Amino acid sequence: MIVAVGSDLVAVERIRRVYERHQRRFLERHFASVEQRYALAAADPAERLAARWAAKEAFAKVWPERLGWRDVWVEHEGKRPCLRFAPRLAARLEREGLVCHLSLSHEREFALAVVVLERVTPPS
């Protein structure tokens, strides 16, 4: 059963400006090391950073409590992006029988993320 749907749209240029101004500090404060490596492997990291920023924001819209920027991050299963979580958050999702689905899209101007929070088993 779908519990919530969240989406976020980010202007790539906004992320580019912050990244160019604060580079290492911005990356370390907001992105997991796996996200940093993935973004920095691109000729223009801003698009990938913007998509990951949007994913974190989209998840925050489906989650009832405040989160830190590094509590949620994007990894890949093959080519498919997926959300990963800090241990306490992962344990809560599992305890409540919840899974997350993620879709990302980006192009020169915008990055978009959609998160679907689904209950697959009754809470324990």
Q: What is the CATH number of the domain that holds 111?
A: 3.90.470.20
pLDDT at residue 123 is higher than 90: no
Q: Token pair of 11, please?
A: 């202007």
> 30 lies in a domain?
yes
Q: Token pair of 94, please?
A: 């599992």
**Angle at Cα 36 formed by Cα 27 and Cα 91, nearest 5°?**
95
Residue 96 · residue 107 · CB < 8 Å: no
- How confident is residue 18, by pLDDT bands cut at 50, 70 and 90? very high
- The tens digit of pLDDT for each residue in 70-112 reads 999 999 999 999 999 999 999 999 999 999 999 999 888 999 9
Q: What is the pTM of this model?
A: 0.95
Q: What is the pLDDT of residue 102?
A: 98
- Give the structural domain span for 101: 2-119
When divided into structural domains, the chain yields a total of 1
Q: What is the pLDDT of residue 124?
A: 79
* Residue corresponding to tokens 């990356």: 27
d(CA 112, CA 66) in angstroms, rounded, equals 21
> 82 lies in a domain?
yes
> 99 lies in a domain?
yes
From the list 45, 51, 43, 48, the residue with the least C-alpha distance to 20 is: 45
> 124 lies in a domain?
no
> 42 lies in a domain?
yes
- The tens digit of pLDDT for each residue in 21-71 reads 999 999 999 999 999 999 999 999 999 999 999 999 999 999 999 999 999
